[in-house]
Structure 1
Amino acid sequence: MSGRDDGRKGFLDGVESSEGDVRVFVALNAILSAMFGWLIVWALDLAGFVEYATRTVAIAVVALFLLTFVVVR
């Protein structure tokens, strides 16, 4: 029986061959790093380890962003 998917690549082949758009990666990385960085600093402030401040959150966000960028690229 011949299906309409004959000759098409599988889903995994498509995902592995896709390069994606770097702008989407950078945007998602920035948004998720900001949210996670804020959460980490908030939790550490709640536990009394660090002071909750804009500078502390910014440092955490930049560190997470760069770490994720280096690991994924």
Structure 2
Amino acid sequence: MHTTSHSPHLTPALYFSGYGPPIECPRICAALYDPVCGNDGKTYSNTCVLLNTRICKNKPFLREAYSGECYP
């Protein structure tokens, strides 16, 4: 992989879920703060980021518990 100090070149991996076409990892998510709480007790900046974590980090049981930041 070739990187520079200003802009690293990342090659997305492909994740085959068995349901539909492969998904690129990491997926590109909008820089939108619309927090969701995962069932792991962590706040994710939006649903896309949570799904990216679930799929690309192989956490199949990660789900959105509720909208908004996780309670302390």
Report the TM-score range of the alignment, normalised by the length of the smaller protein.
under 0.3
**Length-normalised TM-score, structure 2:** 0.27
Relative to its length, the structure with more helix (as a share) is: 1
**Length-normalised TM-score, structure 1:** 0.27
